[in-house]
Chains A and B, each alone.
Chain A
Amino acid sequence: MLLDFDKLGALKPFLVGLTAIVCLFLVLPIIFIAALSFGSSQWLIFPPPGWTLRWYHELFADPRWLYSALTSLKIAAIVTVLSVVIGFLAALGLNRGNFLGREALRALFLTPMILPVVVLAVALYALFLRLGLAGTTIAFVIAHLVIALPFSIISIGNALEGFDKSIEDAAILCGANPWEARLRITVPAISHGIFGAAVFSFLASWDEVVLAIFMASPTLQTLPVKIWATLRQDLTPVIAAASTLLIAFTIVLMLIAALFHRRRKK
């Protein structure tokens, strides 16, 4: 290898140190939040003067927290399904299609990734207001779908890129009609891409806060919105507890994804 770590010499300790600092910078806030959620201080003092599970009790005692978590889960689940289905169809079209403006369309699909989320949120809010959809689950799902789709299209598109279309053609000659061939052969063969698309789509919706604040109503709040709203009222360690659970859930999801990826490689 050109950049062999063992040959870096004097740069080695410097690079190790830099990497350690970056890792700490990324991991420490998570550890702090987790620590604070178990801390006995009501004012989020660090290091915590004592340890308690009180904030978790309060969190689970308040049905609004649970309800917002379920709302998050429901919206993220619908977004995931729609994102994977639409993402698969879009990726198939972009990968196989041979039409004018294909590259422009591909770029268009990915614009939500570079568009500032606030701009998107304001625009979508104005649109839903006009359509009378503001504050509904449908609006929520559409908004999150917009930002989740690019992940699906990239993930499934990459998997399709690495999938030899001759395999699908072989299935067709074996007697499968084109959609049968795609669903029974292509989809399982690119399952890693579809799984990746599902995980990223879920996470894109699950911990999204900016669009959610615009799409939320007093009766329709996702977990991040609930955290945000509570944060503005009072600074209670319950938020730290909710955040910790949110992070834990996300980590579990990522671990499952990693395990899946590893098994596939074997």
Chain B
Amino acid sequence: MTAPLLQVRDLHAQYGPTRVLHGIAFEVRQGGISTILGANGAGKTTTLRAVCGMVRTQGEILLGGERIDGKPTESIVRMGVAHVPDGRGTFMELTVEENLRLGAYTRRDREQVQADFERIYRYFPRLRERLRQQAGTLSGGEQQMLAVSRALMLRPRLLLLDEPSFGLAPLVVQELFEILGEINRAEGTSMLLVEQNASLALKLADHAWLLETGRVVISGSAESIRNDEVVRRSYLGY
């Protein structure tokens, strides 16, 4: 077993006086996909924000063996962590192309960046048609594709995905998850996926952690959780 790409130990986080995470631990394998499941308010989004330095935390977060907790977000991004945030984080007034360019802002390999535009169009052909369009005019599904593409433009080692299925039509969600799986297989991009749609997430991920009010209640391989009827009924509701 190689060391995991992301290792989180005893992570606490709080917004002002409100404690949201009470010492959780999880990891993402090199080239693997981990998912964090849970209901609204369980602390899923906060977990992702903690990984990329957007909230104050205690505990250890290691990326490739190096501590990243306490570092500013911009530096963590420069280490290869891309975040598809809650609400998609679209630069509404910029064009689709400018949004994608920003995704590659920290990269210095100009020719490669240019080639990566083509790579993005292979996954999301629709974005090529929308290139000159103002990003705010895209549909929700297109904006989610743009958010994923913007993150991919970083050529990340670790992709953080915050509820990519949120607000999308089932067919679009299906398509998006297929593409995520393809990216993971073809490029070996490790992913940390936060989802409310547990059945989808468990199909994509290899390991899962189930959060309840800021604590991990169940963890294990995605397969074992998917097959555990008790867990499925009582926590995942499907």
Q: Do they bind each other?
A: no
Interface residues of B (CB under 8 A from A): none
Interface residues of A (CB under 8 A from B): none
